[in-house]
Structure 1
Amino acid sequence: MGGSVSVESDAKQLQVSVGTLKAWQGDLLARIRLDEEGNYHLGRLPEVVEWLSRAETAIHEVDDLLRHGMLENARPIAGQVDVLERAWELLMKDHVRIFGLYGMGGVGKTVILNNMNNKKLYKVADQFDIVIVAPVQQGNPTLSIQRSIGWRLGFDRFDVEWKQNMETSKRADYIYNALENKRFVLVLDDLESKVDLTEIGIPSPTKENRCKVVFATRSKDVCRLMGADADMEVGCLSPDDAWEFFRKTVTTKNLNMHPDIPKLAEEIARRCRGLPLALDVVGGMMFTKSDVYGWTFAVQTLTSSEIEKMCVEKHGKEIERFSREL
């Protein structure tokens, strides 16, 4: 898949591995300096030069992947496995070139996109030349998407002109020329309004070139404005699925610390109103509570407005379900 990394390659393990590579690189460079002082010229051997070059490239790429969030571990949320499967089935239909996921903030759209990229697209790597993930930054979405694409295509590492303050239209030419003859998948996360794919430099996805664009948005109207061939709503979890997700987050061990804790936990989970982000944030906080007093205090103090505040602090945006229903 042109370098897309499967979530099976655990991000933490990859960080450890690249740390080891950096250590070897540093050790070799130190030896080269000593050998150069002794006039042995180890650093001039072609195999040494090649290894150092490849090591530097690998280190740079992994650091970039981690910085861009492309190695995020995105296990499917309980109750959304079916949603992921249906979304994947729609995306892979021949007539679907542009596909949109929509739903309120914190409902799990990003998790589904990550699973599509890390687990589904990874398994059909031979069908596409490249997969590009572009988190959309508001304010100037066109520029942020162009920069993500440029990073994925290597422009920011190998093209001096690209690194300069290039005009949008010229960046678009670069991108178009690079993708024109490739079968690509473009994944856009958190699209607040319509973006012009042509202005960005994206060749139009067609049935003939078999390219695809998939995006996540809060608004069904954005799906229409983007000309989506298909779209799908991502909703909140059912009460049973919400409880299952919350239970796994706080762990069975913590729930069994006292016979009263399970009932208290069910009440706290209910107040999260089926929103995965709220269940994750609150569950992460309650994971540290191992006695019944902590759970009782949480039930007494954890109002819907407090949960909303916690979610906003993590998510950075208003959570509609709480804002509408309080």
Structure 2
Amino acid sequence: MGGVGKTTLLKRIYKSLLDDANMGFNHVLFIEASKGIQLEELRKRISESLQLQRAGKEGIFNVLKISNFVLLLDNICEEVDLISLGIPHPYSDDNSTKQCYKHKVIFTTRSEDVCAKMGAGEKTIKVECLGSNDSWDLFRDNVNLDVIVSNEEFKKIARQVMGECSGLPLALKVIGKAMSNKKSIPEWNFVLRSLKSSSTRVVGMEESLFPILKFSYDNLPDNIRECFLFALMLRRISKYELSECWMGLGLIGDFVDLPEAFDKAEYILKILEESCLLYVSNDGRVHFHDVIHEMAKWIATDCGMNRNKWIVKDYHVSTEISTIDTENWRFAKLVIMGHIKLLPILSHRCSDLLCLFIKSSFDLQRIPEGFFLQMPNLIFLDLSLSDVKELPKDIKCLFNLQYLNVSSTAISSLPKELVYLNKLQYLLCGDTKLSKVKDGLLSRLHKLRVIDLHPTGWVEPKELQMLKKHNNIKAIGMRVVSQEVFQQLSYLPTTGLYIQKLDNLISLSYDTLSCKNHGFLQELTIDSCLQLKELVLNGSETHLNNLTISNVEKL
């Protein structure tokens, strides 16, 4: 079952194989295979682990057939065709893979049927929940041990709380962490009564755990609960992108500048990590246990009573959405859709809809005219990572919109109708085909806080002057096309600059590229500045992540 420790066990095996060179394996591959994942994505992950450039089936096969390897596949939900992945089969007719090399595959799954279909036969191990003594040891590792061993009454109640976790390691860790700040017997008694009464509400092996695990969610401060739910719905997102979303949704609260906002987001992530509700990997991506994800969906739908409140659907392959598919949108507050090819014109009003994410829809080229007419209360719209070429005129009907993200799309201009979005605070157009933005468009949006036009979009110096007068711009990124633009940007908090063909630029100092009090320059590109001789990266607080210099011969 979920949360019993399959992944933990597989990671222990992975680490022991890496640590023990005597095992003699050339490649030890750990691959996460989440629900609905396609063979192509699995091949991509295997290629990356083998440090191959997007190798196909044959490329993977040619490397592994002459190697000793172990492939660890975690959390497969259905049969995986290993041959189609490029994994040499030890019992194939190909003599080159017989006897000479050690080829091993270990996988975890929740399904005995998958074990049978994969041909695991008798080589299966059912991972059981912990016995009483092991449960107590794990629970004690996660609570405030000094409290529960202070007297026998405390220890007795703590053992009863532990018992409600039914030996499931995930529940023991999550509840243990949630109880670590409870220091009185009445508090522990209250929690015990809550867990006992809630555990009877839901039937089913894993579903029955949701009310137990929900205690950890209930233990969070109100604003962090919302942050947790949105993070879960957005899955497989970087902590930087997640922080941006939290800002756009107003969950971070007010902030003086972008560094302060990111610090707040980091603080929230730390609390959620310490509660064992998520973890951030070394590459900065946010991860969740499957059972925690399912629990969050259950909470978001009013404990399963209102399943259309939050709609999350990733089709994995490009799909045309029909009007029937959007029927439930009329009851939804949040809709997240992935891999959409075509959108319908909605035939019904979606008055409750506040947040709409249409992400990773690389074949979606247009938003139909009239699509936005039916969602008057929308505050958050994310169309990033699609092939949308323009925004329809009816976007002006989104009077309440506060966040608009069209990053990494094919958009080349912003419609003049955006001036009607009086509440817009975040306008993210990074990595698009934008050039000059219409004069007067941005300066008429008086509530704008974050503007990202980087690297191709830009505005005239006069527009920048007017934006500066608003006094609430927290971040701006854009192309620098003239010395005048350069000069005006030095008074604004810049996050990304693309400086190109400034012939009079001889010396450039980092601390002049953003206003000194609130600067947060993260990305700097200098291209074809033929007279530039000196670049000084000074400044006590440097947040620069990417620096690209090209065609600067005199530097």
Q: Structure 1-normalised TM-score? A: 0.57
Look up the match of 1:260.
153
Residues 272-295 of structure 1, C-alpha deviations (whole Å, 9 max, x = no match): 111111111111111122233321
AA at the equivalent of 1:265: A
Residue number among 12, 29, 35 corresponding to 1:132 in the alignment: 29
Which residue, out of 201, 218, 230, partners 2:110? 218
Does the 8 A contact of 1:278 with 1:311 survive in 2?
A: no
SS at match of 2:146: helix
Which SS does the other structure have where 2:125 is aligned?
Answer: strand
Partner of 1:131, secondary structure, is strand
- In structure 2, relative to structure 1, the CA distance for the partners of 1:192 and 1:296 (3 Å cut) is same
- The worse-fitting range, judged by mean Cα deviation, of 115-124 and 275-284 is 115-124
Shift of 1:205: 3.1
Between structure 1 and structure 2, the one with the greater Rg is: 2
Equivalent pair of 2:174/2:213 in contact (CA under 8 Å): no
What amino acid is the match of 1:107?
A: V
Q: Which structure has the highest helix share of the two?
A: 1
Tell me by how many angstroms 1:180 deviates: 1.8
Distance 1:108 1:311, change over 3 A: farther
Moved over 6 A (4+): none
Unaligned runs of 5+ in 1: 1-103, 163-169, 320-326
The SS at the match of 2:60 is helix
Partners of 1:277 and 1:311 within 8 A in 2: no
SS at match of 2:30: strand
Structure 1 position 233 matched with structure 2 position 112: no
Equivalent residues of 2:139, 2:176 under 8 A apart: yes
The one-character-per-residue Cα deviations of 1:196-248 (angstroms, maximum 9, x if unpaired) are 00111111135612210000001111111111151111111112221222122
CA-to-partner distance for each residue in 1:135-156, whole Å, 9 max, x for gaps?
A: 002222423321221111112x
1:245 alignment partner, SS class: helix
Counterpart CA distance in 1 for 2:18 and 2:108 is 16
Partners of 2:216 and 2:39 lie apart in 1 by 27
Counterparts of 2:194 and 2:13, CA distance in 1: 38
| Distance change in 2, residues 1:311/1:116 (3 Å) | farther
Alpha-carbon contact 2:178-2:216 (below 8 Å) kept: no
In structure 2, the residue matched to 1:316 is 290
Matching residue's letter, 1:225:
K
SS in 2 for 1:188: strand
What does residue range 95-134 of structure 1 map to in structure 2 within 5 Å? 104-120=1-17, 122-134=19-31
Given that residues 43 and 85 in structure 2 are in contact (C-alpha distance below 8 angstroms), is that contact kept between their aligned partners in structure 1? Answer: yes
Report the Cα distance in structure 2 between the residues aligned to 1:190 and 1:259, rounded to whole angstroms: 41
Residue 127 of structure 1: how far off its partner (Å): 1.4
Say which structure is richer in strand. Answer: 2
* Alignment counterpart, residue 76 of structure 2, candidates 185, 191, 194: 191
Of 293, 296, 304 in structure 1, the residue corresponding to residue 186 of structure 2 is 293
CA apart distance, 1:258:
5.2
Residue 249, structure 1, aligned to residue 160, structure 2: no
- Matched residue type, 2:31: A
Change (3 A) 1:137 1:125: farther
Q: Percent identity among equivalent residues?
A: 35
Question: Residue 306 of structure 1 corresponds to which residue in structure 2?
Answer: 211
CA distance in 2, matches of 1:223, 1:263: 41
TM-score (norm 2): 0.35
- The residue aligned with 2:60 is 175
How many residue pairs get aligned? The number is: 204
129 and 310 in structure 1: CA distance in 2 versus 1, 3 angstrom threshold: farther
Could you say what the CA RMSD is over the residues aligned between the two structures, in angstroms? Answer: 2.4
**Structure 1 residues 224, 287: closer, same or farther in 2, change over 3 A?**
same
Output the amino acid matched with 1:222.
Answer: V
Read off the aligned partner of 2:184 and give its amino acid letter.
Answer: D
Residue type of the partner of 1:210?
Answer: K
Contact 1:134 1:149 in 2 (8 A): yes
Cα separation, partners in 2 of 1:310 and 1:262, compared to 1, 3 Å: same
Change (3 A) 1:273 1:292: same
1:137–1:144: 8 Å Cα contact kept in structure 2? no
User: Hey, what's the Cα distance between the residues in 2 that align with 1:138 and 1:284?
Assistant: 28
Deviation per CA, 1:123-171: give whole Å up to 9, x if none. 245511010000002222423321221111112xxx3xx2xxxxxxx71
Given that 1:186 and 1:214 are in contact with CA atoms closer than 8 Å, whether structure 2 keeps it comes out as: yes
Q: How does 1:142-153 map to 2 (within 5 A)?
A: 142-153=39-50
Structure 2 letter corresponding to 1:306: P
Cα shift readout 1:44-103 (whole Å, capped 9, x = no counterpart):
xxxxxxxxxxxxxxxxxxxxxxxxxxxxxxxxxxxxxxxxxxxxxxxxxxxxxxxxxxxx
Is the deviation greater in 106-115 or in 171-180?
A: 171-180
Shift of 1:122: 2.4
Instruction: Indicate conservation of the 8 Å contact 1:190/1:217, yes or no.
Output: yes
Between the aligned partners of 1:269 and 1:205, the Cα distance in structure 2 is 45
